[in-house]
Amino acid sequence: MKIFTGISVYPGIVIGKALLYQEDDYSEIPRYTIGQEQVEGELKRFVDAVKDTVEDLQILKESSREMNLEQSAIFNAHLLMAEDPDFHYQIKARLESKYENVEWIVWEVARDLCQKLLMSSDAYLREKAADVSDVSRRIISFLLGVQRFSLANLAEDVVLVSRNLLLSDILTMNKTRIKALVMDLGSRTSHTAIFIRTFGIPSVLGLSNAVREINSGDTLIVDGEKGELILDPDETALERYRRKLAEYSHDSDKLSALSRLPAETKDHHRVVLRANIELPEEAGDLERCGAEGIGLYRSEFLFMGSGKAAEEERQYLAYSQVIKTMKGKPVTIRTVDVGGDKILPGLPRNDEINPLLGWRAIRFSLALPEMFKTQLRAILRASTEGPVKIMFPMISGIEELEQALAVLEEAKAECRRKGQPYSDNIEVGTMIEIPAAVVTADILAEKSDFLSIGTNDLVQYTLAVDRGNERVSYLAQPTHPAVLRFIKQTIDAAHHRGIKAVMCGEFAGDPKAAALLLGMGLDEFSMAAISLPQIKNIIRGVNMADCKALALKALACTSFKQVDALVESWMAEHFGS
Ligand code: PEP
Ligand code: MG
């Protein structure tokens, strides 16, 4: 038995048989010398293979568009890559200097390009390596005349194991047969991860070198909660996970029955539970989980992978689709939060030493007012389809909020000039993610319809812990007294001004936080849809008076360990262990 740790991308536990999908195995590519007179013929073979590849990509693009996947635009990037003159020039130049068969040359050129991209300090360029490898593999398959093993035709349930799955594979694979997915590469924000979440496949990515130790048919346990993969589990591990699985399905049956019941404590204190989404397609599933709307739509994912900023019409359609799907339940659209590790293709970017303290979120939007206004116009126009709220990310002070509100007014004026109707009932909220915003929450609340606490960033900036750095992740504790006091301060500032206090960071979906946040007076919780039933179950099992007492005690604690111990024993007392 061997345990590997990676990054959890979608939760869930699966015990199953491995299917090794080793697209990276190039040992089959022949390598031989050619004569000078064969260069022309090899080039022609290359051009024909590119033609076939382009046709293939066009079909994939169309079929993913039919599936209504915004990211079908990624195939545009692949098409551009397949026809890139510089790529073609490099193939020709190498053929003419090395006199080797063209499939080998294509592989070498792509490998060199990938290595260069992978060594870049820029996350966007590193992710481009996957595109280069996807397209070159496609061309090589045509050159070799091999039928690529298709994940669309799977006869049995599998745990898919791959070093680096291609996007085209993910879009076309048989999702009902693939029970879980594990990969050596991949990060939480990679395109692959985004699709995995959309399709709801329990997955662990970023396993480094696990795949080389796995063979097809091996027994695997994928623990999407912990981000762990167990190869050849022993009887004890199997038994433990079988038990967990049984509890899981029993719990999920019980929990899904909760979806129609209100999020109300035993003493009838009602709160609102909403979902966080990244892609428009996710909205379709929310009713089943009992979400009372969307509390955070991370709109930046609409911009990524398209090769350019999403134009107004595309945005308008995406927002309208989400709003219509939600059938009258509010949709909170957060304006783009890029920068840091989320870089928009085709837009200016800086090589910053401290990207997380740099040109991010609202700073980025305010610096590109036309782009910002385009997004706001698209949201305004879509607001005729149903209730919409707008939320600004990473506000650090009143000046930024006022500037953002001014751009919103300009966007409204432009819509009016063009005769484009919009709702005059759009709430505008401020995200509280920076200590300065907490400390001035009373001032920000004056100009906001609600405050929404983003604990992921609030923890990062309060405790000076890079949220993506696993070396310091032990410090990233949302129950740290500083964070808890900041949360309470924000909730109180909102209430003092008579507006709602919302939380849309991960802490809102953390079972250990639910009673504590209730007791602190939080009005709305927004979280990954998968967490909703469990949080609702906790809320329905407690009394507000007890939660208030718990919150008072927690706020008096001196360390996160004390808070965690307090909450743990409180939960055990109320719900059993
Ligand atoms: C947060 O910071 O808590 C948040 C919700 O925003 P994001 O995770 O997208 O930065
Ligand atoms: Mg944030």
Instruction: Give yes or no for residue 93 having a pLDDT over 90.
Output: yes
User: Could you tell me if the CB of 298 is within 6 A of ligand 1?
Assistant: yes
Confidence label for 175 from pLDDT (cuts 50, 70 and 90)? confident
Q: Which atom belonging to ligand 1 lies closest to the Cα atom of 507?
A: 3
Q: What is the pLDDT of residue 224?
A: 87
**pLDDT (average), residues 157-182:** 86
C-alpha–C-alpha distance, residues 577 and 574, integer Å: 9
CA–CA distance from 346 to each of 113, 258, 536, 541 (Å)? 19, 45, 42, 50
330: left (phi over 0), alpha (psi -120 to 50) or beta: beta
SS3 track for 492-560: HHHHHCCCEEEECCHHHHCCCCHHHHHHHCCCEEEEEHHHHHHHHHHHHCCCHHHHHHHHHHHHCCCCH
**pLDDT (average), residues 425-430:** 98
List where CATH 3.50.30.10 sits in the chain. 2-24+154-251
CB 455 within 8 A of CB 487: yes
> Which helix (DSSP H) or strand (DSSP E) does residue 55 occupy?
helix 39-66
C-alpha–C-alpha distance, residues 32 and 555, integer Å: 72
Q: What is the pLDDT of residue 477?
A: 93
What would the pLDDT profile of 443-478 be if each residue is shown by its tens digit?
999 999 999 999 999 999 999 998 767 678 789 899
Active-site entry in 191, 289, 480, 557: 191
Q: Which atom belonging to ligand 1 lies closest to the Cα atom of 505?
A: 3
Active site residue 191: yes
> Which helix (DSSP H) or strand (DSSP E) does residue 312 occupy?
helix 312-325
Average pLDDT, the chain: 88
Q: Which one of 304, 333, 431, 517 would you pick to mutate in the ligand 1 pocket, going by the greatest count of ligand atoms within 8 A of its CB?
A: 431
Structure tokens at 129: 């390596």
What would the pLDDT profile of 97-127 be if each residue is shown by its tens digit?
999 999 999 999 998 888 888 777 776 777 7
Q: What is the pTM of this model?
A: 0.72
pLDDT: which is higher, 244 or 545: 545
Ligand 1 center–CA 33 separation, angstroms:
54
Active site residue 504: yes
Please give the order of strands across the beta sheet that includes 2-5: 2-5, 228-231, 219-223, 13-20, 158-162, 178-183, 203-205, 7-10
- Lowest-pLDDT choice from 9-18, 72-81, 532-541: 72-81
Confidence label for 69 from pLDDT (cuts 50, 70 and 90)? low
**pLDDT (average), residues 134-163:** 84
- Lowest-pLDDT choice from 78-87, 209-218, 349-358, 512-521: 349-358
Instruction: Give yes or no for residue 193 having a pLDDT over 80.
Output: no
| 265-575 CATH choice from 3.20.20.60, 1.20.1370.20, 3.50.50.60, 2.30.110.10 | 3.20.20.60
Ligand 1 center–CA 141 separation, angstroms:
41
Active-site entry in 114, 289, 480, 504: 504
**pLDDT (average), residues 516-544:** 94
pLDDT: which is higher, 191 or 22: 22
List where CATH 1.10.274.10 sits in the chain. 36-144
- Lowest-pLDDT choice from 179-193, 226-240, 356-370, 557-571: 179-193
Instruction: Give yes or no for residue 298 having a pLDDT over 70.
Output: yes
Please give the backbone phi and psi of residue 13, each rounded to the nearest 5 degrees, phi first: -120, 130
List where CATH 3.20.20.60 sits in the chain. 265-575
User: According to the CATH classification, is domain 36-144 in 1.10.10.60?
Assistant: no
C-alpha–C-alpha distance, residues 42 and 326, integer Å: 55
Q: Which atom belonging to ligand 1 lies closest to the Cα atom of 460?
A: 2
Instruction: Give yes or no for residue 307 having a pLDDT over 50.
Output: no
Q: Which residues surround ligand 2, an ion (CB under 5 A)?
A: 433, 454, 457
Instruction: Give yes or no for residue 305 having a pLDDT over 60.
Output: no
Confidence label for 355 from pLDDT (cuts 50, 70 and 90)? confident
User: Could you tell me if the CB of 468 is within 6 A of ligand 1?
Assistant: no
Confidence label for 167 from pLDDT (cuts 50, 70 and 90)? low
C-alpha–C-alpha distance, residues 527 and 454, integer Å: 11
Structure tokens at 33: 């010398």
> Which helix (DSSP H) or strand (DSSP E) does residue 8 occupy?
strand 7-10
User: Could you tell me if the CB of 505 is within 6 A of ligand 1?
Assistant: yes
CATH code given to domain 2-24+154-251: 3.50.30.10
Report DSSP letters for 94-108, one per residue.
HHHHH-B-HHHHHHH
